[in-house]
Structure 1
Amino acid sequence: MAASAAPPPGDARPPRPGLRERKKLKTRAAIREATYRLIGERGYEATTIEQIAAEAEVSPSTVFRYFPAKEDIVLTDEFDSAMAAAVRARPAGEPPLEAVRAVLRQAVETVLADRPEEFARRGRLLVEIPAVRARMTETMAESSLLLSRAVADRTGREEGDLEVAVFTASVLAALREVTIYWAEHGQKDDPAVLVDQALDTLKAGLAL
């Protein structure tokens, strides 16, 4: 069988995984889909891990192995590591903010094309459920670490460099606020355009 074509530079779509990893991704997807079905029927608070496990036809321990908390089922996706790799793959002379902008736009557009309803439901839960929003803030540290390493590699700086840390934290905070703003305003705007607007604000500062 011929190998699949490599994704273009800057593409945030994850590369095709091996068989074992595909099985894991299938299980994760089944758990996530079961969770959204149950939340739609019963509400977030009334949906338990045991119910999710039964709906997904796995054990509760399997759910916890893939997702340490119920909120993680809603928030976790497979794009963080792919995004870091895509940032590294951007043209060498491209400014860090523009490299990240291109990758974030691609990631948002890919999710909207592949899983629009999941993206919409995640946004609604971020607005409606304080625990989901709080967990998103907690788990941003892992995403920040992956992105910081990629930015440090591009700029020749140390991973623990203060400016790298501030830059990365600002970008991820901007992405978080874009998601919440989009959800709070009826999901009528183009999230990719909102990403551009948010990063323009980081670049230029807040005008008087």
Structure 2
Amino acid sequence: MSAEPETLGLRERKKIRTRATIREHAMRLFAEQGYAETTVEQIAEAAEVSPSTLFRYFPSKERLVLTDDLDPVLLTSFVDQPADLPLLTAFRRSIESVFLRLSPEEREQEERRQRLIYSVPELRAAQMDELLRTIDLLGQAVTDRLGGDADPFEVRVFAGALAGAVLGTVRGEPPRISELLRAIEVLESGFPLVRAIEAARTSGSA
């Protein structure tokens, strides 16, 4: 998100800007030269920081691409949705809210990041580890929303099912937001088309 919280001090705002600058130059160089051909040293030089400073913000070259800055914003929005909303509805509305607040430039940056992940085999493979991390974060957000009373195993299965629904929209390229929302709506409605086909087959074999 583009706006920096006014409550942050000068040092914190400087860190945010430095981090954003490093990532901006990294994405530019990846687009111009290719991911494999771009070195950490080149990114650090372009951002006018030392490699050691770069690694304080991003511990590896992969993390420059894989780190999703929208995750914490999305999960905070999810937890803050009205308490009477079902979990899936709350998650769908949080996606809608967060992505509607993105500027055109931020939306384009996120789309470029996603395209890079899906076009580089190394990053695409590493994305599976990121998916497990996302399931952990989502599971914690679900627990927070339910007040900590939910069964941990059931919560993780729920988070995995939601992540799997999103993963199911992938067909060799990043999914559109409309597809992500549709995937959640299919979960919300309990797979009505699948159930209708099953019901028809059951009644036909009776």
Q: Looking at both structures, which has the greater relative contact order when contacts are Cα pairs under 8 Å and sequence separation is at least 6?
A: 1
**Letter of the structure 2 residue corresponding to residue 132 of structure 1:** L
Structure 1 position 53, deviation (Å): 0.5
Unaligned regions of 5+ residues in structure 2, if any? 198-206
Distance 2:117 2:22 in 1: 19
Moved over 4 A (4+): 12-15, 157-160
- Which residue number corresponds to residue 16 of structure 2? 25
Kept in 2: contact 1:34–1:52 (CA 8 A): yes
Of 117, 126, 136, the residue aligned with 2:127 is 136
Of 160, 165, 183, the residue aligned with 1:169 is 160
Of 169, 181, 186, the residue aligned with 1:201 is 186
Q: Out of 164-173 and 104-113, give the one that drifted further.
A: 104-113
- Which residue number corresponds to residue 155 of structure 1? 146
After superposition, what is the alpha-carbon deviation per residue over 1:13-37, rounded to whole angstroms, capped at 9, x for unaligned?
9871613322121111111111111
Kept in 2: contact 1:149–1:159 (CA 8 A): no
Show the 5 A alignment for 1:41-190: 41-111=32-102, 113-158=104-149, 161-178=152-169, 180-181=170-171, 184=173
What TM-score, normalized by structure 1, do the two folds share?
Answer: 0.78
After superposition, what is the alpha-carbon deviation per residue over 1:139-158, rounded to whole angstroms, capped at 9, x for unaligned?
23333333222211222445
**Letter of the structure 2 residue corresponding to residue 193 of structure 1:** S
Unaligned regions of 5+ residues in structure 1, if any? 1-11
Compared CA separation, residues 35 and 13, structure 1 to 2 (3 A): closer
What TM-score, normalized by structure 2, do the two folds share?
Answer: 0.79
After superposition, what is the alpha-carbon deviation per residue over 1:132-172, rounded to whole angstroms, capped at 9, x for unaligned?
11222212333333322221122244576122111112323
Structure 1 position 112, deviation (Å): 6.0
RMSD value over aligned CA atoms? 2.7
Compared CA separation, residues 13 and 151, structure 1 to 2 (3 A): farther
**Letter of the structure 1 residue corresponding to residue 41 of structure 2:** E
Distance 1:171 1:22 in 2: 34
Kept in 2: contact 1:72–1:135 (CA 8 A): no
Compared CA separation, residues 29 and 201, structure 1 to 2 (3 A): same
Compared CA separation, residues 67 and 175, structure 1 to 2 (3 A): farther
Compared CA separation, residues 27 and 174, structure 1 to 2 (3 A): farther
**Letter of the structure 2 residue corresponding to residue 18 of structure 1:** L
Among the aligned pairs, what percent are the same residue?
37
- Give the aligned length: 191
Structure 1 position 75, deviation (Å): 2.2
